[in-house]
Chains A and B, each alone.
Chain A
């Protein structure tokens, strides 16, 4: 054990003696790690957020499809779904997207007539009657409308509709609530010009969650122009999309990883005359090949771990404190809300392991052969030369 300690100590001092070159290497490596880990952190967090949110969504949502596109669903369908065995509640939902030309953002307007259970609650209260609204933090900030303030929207006839803000959702991390506007159900209808016998879609509850797929199938058979969507399907879709997106970007950065490995190889093979002499001297004074190999191993580990940790810390700050401003557009698609929101910081051992795999391991691997070549120097080389 003593032996390893001493060799490690020597390696550290040796690296320090050539600190500028090593810092440059760490910097390059660190950047690669930062980019990769930013990608992984961001997608992973978004995925977690989405899943967390989806956890509270309805087991089954039924939408009407017309000409391949979503249409409003007749309230009439409720009755017909209700009688299917296994179905619990059937509740109409009124909601829609609102494009705000002022800020350029898309908001989700949700009509309520009961307590909103799943979303983190707000300062203030839920709107109880007409003329009141509760806003997500993102909307509130974008429109400069806090509690007691006023929100003016344009309805389907072009008329201004004003409502007083009675609540603002607090958690900045909540994806769903950030762009949300809660108003009374009837107001949604009038805002979007929806006919009185239609709703946006239906929230269907089932008694036994393992029966959801069966019930969904029955609904489809019963009402062929509807599209029942189960919660699981949504979860899987999100999962796949995020995996796909992060995988795609990762693949693009493969080029960066390969370039880096070539750099590592080159650096390791092209030892300076100084370094060559140092190894020659060590071998002459009694260090064995395996000692030099161990030294090279520690070198690789120290450099790559330092770069790795630095890269991860910077990526962490980038994603969780600075909103991943460099990456967000590529990953989050069109529904990026212009008001920024913060992701909940989350560090997953799995992500770190994948990152280690993609960075530290290729680095150490690409330096094995060059390290060996330098370690097998003959002890009598410096005598001859």
Chain B
């Protein structure tokens, strides 16, 4: 514990020295328990405190079952913690009703899932536009934005293809595009390289790095060395059995 505290203090000074202005995410003693009180009760995360600043490239490292996916979900406002506080831009979101949680999520976060989770039978363009459907934005505006992103990722030429007809690499880029449609502050990815070969993995990491250089905060949960051994990572959070073992800042 003392190790961690001093490490965190060191990190805070370090960050200040680097001139980071805002803290994007702060978790304070956050815990998540699934199915509490029932026979299949599972403590996913216990007492995690973490700080993530804007513009950082963060990797949550740990084997499966370490709680990194759950932590990612909590940070990304996908679920509510069982205990503790989560501050996004200074606002505590832990007790917010779903509607508000979703509003914050829509504003701040873009998500890339392990299995991409694109909707089959729907075109590339529509998949990318979907996250903004429940908003009051005009469809033409969303469409323009989507096409812009697709072009940047070199997949605009396949915009009308149904997603199941795309290769793995192409689907990956569609998933990334979808995560960017709401112009989020941070992009979160859950084991993005789990089902990819080395080349595609490197492609993905490179795209993430480019996004980071543009100013986006990147948070990746991964146990793939290809990911966590990259030198440009600002913060490496090692997790095991639901607690944070070590935080390395660069």
Contacts and interface: CB of A to CB of B under 8 A. Distances in A.
Interface of A: 1-3, 5-7, 9-10, 13, 17, 274, 277-278, 280-282, 284-291, 378-380, 382-384
A280 B117 CA distance: 9
A35 to B, nearest CB: 34
B39 interface: no
Interface string B80-123: 00000000000000000011001001100001011101111110
A287 B136 CA distance: 13
Given A285-B178, A286-B182, A383-B78, A7 B119 contact: no
7 contacts: A3-B133, A6-B139, A274-B120, A286-B106, A286-B131, A286-B182, A291-B134
A6 B69 contact: no
Nearest to B178: A285
Contacts of B136: 1-3
Nearest to B32: A380
A3 B78 contact: no
A10 B69 CA distance: 30
Q: A-B pairs with the 4 shortest C-beta distances?
A: A380-B78, A291-B134, A380-B73, A285-B131
A6 B117 contact: no
Contacts of B98: 288-289
Given A6-B139, A380-B79, A382-B113, A288 B134 contact: yes
A384 B119 CA distance: 18
Chain A interface, DSSP helix/strand/loop, else mixed: helix
Contacts of B105: 286
B84 to A, nearest CB: 17
A274 B72 CA distance: 25
A272 to B, nearest CB: 12
Contacts, number: 79
B116 to A, nearest CB: 10
Contacts of B69: 383-384
A281 B138 CA distance: 22
Contact of B133 (A6, A280, A284, A290): A6
Contacts of A278: 119
B167 interface: no
Given A6-B139, A7-B134, A384-B69, A288 B99 contact: yes
B44 to A, nearest CB: 9
A286 B127 CA distance: 13
A378 B79 contact: yes
A132 B73 CA distance: 95
Contact of A2 (B78, B115, B139): B139
B6 interface: no
Contacts of A274: 120
A289 to B, nearest CB: 6
- Of A274, A278, A380, A383, the most chain B CB neighbours within 10 A belong to A383
Contacts of B117: 277, 280-281, 284, 382
Given A379-B79, A380-B73, A380-B78, A3 B113 contact: no
Contact of A284 (B99, B111, B132): B111
